[in-house]
Structures are given as structure tokens and as C-alpha cells.
Amino acid sequence: MKLSFETVDVFTDRRFGGNPLAVVLDGHGLASEQMQSVACEFNLAETTFVLPPEDPRHSAEVRIFTPRAELPFAGHPNIGTAFVLARLGSSYGSVLGEPLAFEEKAGLVRLDLIKEASSVIGARLAAPQPLVRGEDIAAEVVAAACSIGVGGIETANHQPRLASCGIAIAFAELKSRAALAAARPRPELFCGHLGADRATGILLHVPERDDGVDLQVRMFAPLYGVPEDPATGSANVALAGLLASLRAEPDLNLRLRSAQGIDMGRPSLLEASAEKRDGRVTGMWIGGRCVPMMQGVLEI
């Protein structure tokens, strides 16, 4: 069996930046085990497989795999897959209209295309599920799992805690950029306190006011085969919702520009937003640019 694929760098406007993604364009007929093997072979943070949609009104079914497990939802795989399919203009013989709608395990993901003139340069998605604020996590657990001192964690704005809009992630604010740069994941402590069934990983964030950026962030998901992620749409969109929910204003339109991947040498820029009405977060979005990288054929 021969399968066509493309790779793309997501949340960046330059090659070799952002988060690499492999998109297998004709995954129909593959078993889940085969998809997992292909994702392990690519060894990128995520690989997507495009399948015909169950509902013909939708653009495609999309399945998302890390090197170790399937995810119900993720940000950069959706943005990159939308970019690739939009540039192709069709999938399984069907012409794609706008907005795109991907069937995923977390629900229906809707995406708008970002264009310059008539060229597609990226995409923006709406979170498939409402914000869910989970339980607090002890600062000592986060500090140990990320190899930082507990004094480096900022708790004035929020305690480290779980949140989700399609996939559960732990969030912790740090007090300084230096503490963020020093962080290193310790997989054995993730196993003991933040198992894969509880959280996909930990996103650390710190305020940033330079170059039009609001936050510097890093994301660790070692139990999913991703020691550090260069750009994490699912985490940044949930973070926008979480921070909006914690603000005192009953009505709010929060916009955040997050820089990620800086300490990895793969700079990424993610633009997230959250809408809050009558004290409740009513919507969350994230988008960014993409750059095409490679095309090829897999033999299975």
C-alpha cells in the first residue's frame, strides 16, 4: 500500500521554525495500529491521517497520533491539516468549501482559513468543547516534574491546575523567564503524579511584553513521546479560556499572542482568543501561519 503525505511547519512563517506535522492524505483503510506505527516512524510531535467524513457536509475525518498514542484533539495538527487540504483544494475527490469541518474524537472542529490575497497562509480553529476547569495540582508536583524550584511558581493569579477544551492539560504560571528557560521534564515524575490518563502534559507560562508577545510558554508531554513541544495549539487555546475565566470582568474579549519553542530553536507564534459573556467563557479560538516543507510517498 502506498500513501501520499505532506509535511508542514505550523505556527510559523519560516521553514525550520514552528511545529513540524506530517499529514497522511489517504489514510482510509489503515488500522489504528498501522497509524500508530506510521506516527512512530515520523517521530514528530503529531501525525494526522485524513479519512472520508461520515457526514458528507463535513470536510474530512481526521485522526491524530503522537509517537505513542492517539489524541482526541490537538491544535497544530488541525491548523496544519487544514492548510494542506486547502492548498490541495479537495479530499477524496470532493471539493472543499469554507469553513472546514473536521470530525474528530473530541467532536467537530471548525476552521477558518487565513489568507493573503488569494493564497492560504494558515488557519484558525474553534475549540471543539467548552472550557472545563479541573482540579488544582500541588505546586511541589509541578516543580519536581519540571525540574524547577517551587519558589519559581507564581500562584497569585492561579494555582497550578488542570483545564481542557478537548484534551486535559496542566497549567502553571512561573515568576520569571529564567525559571521557564531552566525547566526540564522528568518523565518518571509525570508517571507518578501526572499520568497520561490524567493530563497530556504540563504547559508553563510567564508574561512577556516584548515584540508584541503576551506570553512565553513551554509544553512538556513526555508520556506521549513528546519531551517538549515546539507549539501546542490545544494548550494555548485552553489557557486563553482559563485566564479569561479567572478574570473579574463578566464580559471580556481576551487576545493572547504566545511565543513557544524559543528554547528549542524552533520559534513559534500562536494567536489565541477567548470570549466571556455573563461570567462564562462562551468560545475559544487559536490560529497561526504555516509553511509547506516536504511531499512524499509511504510504503506499508
Q: What percent of the chain lies above the pLDDT cut of 70?
A: 100
pLDDT band of 182, cuts 50, 70, 90: very high
Q: Report d(CA 138, CA 234) in Å as an integer.
A: 22
**Amino acid at the residue 171:** F
Residue 167's pLDDT is 96
**Marked catalytic residue, from 6, 33, 46, 271:** 46
State pLDDT tens for residues 267-298: 999 999 999 999 999 999 999 999 999 999 99
Q: What's the whole-model pTM score?
A: 0.96
pLDDT band of 300, cuts 50, 70, 90: confident
Q: For strand 202-207 and strand 215-221, is the pairing parallel, antiparallel, or unpaired?
A: antiparallel
Peptide bond into 52 cis (omega under 30): no
Cα torsion 257, 258, 261, 262: sign: positive
Q: Report d(CA 40, CA 59) in Å as an integer.
A: 26
Arithmetic mean of pLDDT over the chain? 96
State pLDDT tens for residues 84-111: 999 999 999 999 999 999 999 999 999 9
CA 28 to the chain's CA centroid: 24
Residue 12's pLDDT is 98
Burial class from Cβ neighbours inside 10 Å (0-12, 13-18, 19+) for residue 224 reads: buried
CATH number of 132-285: 3.10.310.10
Q: Are 85 and 60 in contact (CB under 8 A)?
A: yes
For this structure, is 275 an active site residue?
no
- Nearest CA to 167 out of 257, 241, 272, 256 is that of 241
Phi-psi region of 89 (alpha: psi -120 to 50; beta: other; left: phi over 0): left
Residue 210's pLDDT is 78
State pLDDT tens for residues 50-87: 999 999 999 999 999 999 999 999 999 999 999 999 99
Helices (H), 75-217: 75-88, 139-145, 177-182, 187-193
Residue 268's pLDDT is 98
Residue 211's pLDDT is 77
**Amino acid at the residue 211:** D
Architecture per CATH, 2-129+289-299: Roll (3.10)
Average the pLDDT over 140-148 and give the result.
97
Q: Which residues are registered as beta bridge partners of 250? A: none
Q: Please tell me if the domain spanning 2-129+289-299 has the same topology as the one spanning 132-285.
A: yes
Q: Residue 150 corresponds to which cell in the numbers above?
A: 517551587
Residue 112's pLDDT is 98
Q: What percent of the chain lies above the pLDDT cut of 90?
A: 96
Q: Report d(CA 205, CA 7) in Å as an integer.
A: 28
Residue 209's pLDDT is 79
Domain residue extents for the chain? 2-129+289-299, 132-285
SS3 call for 3? strand
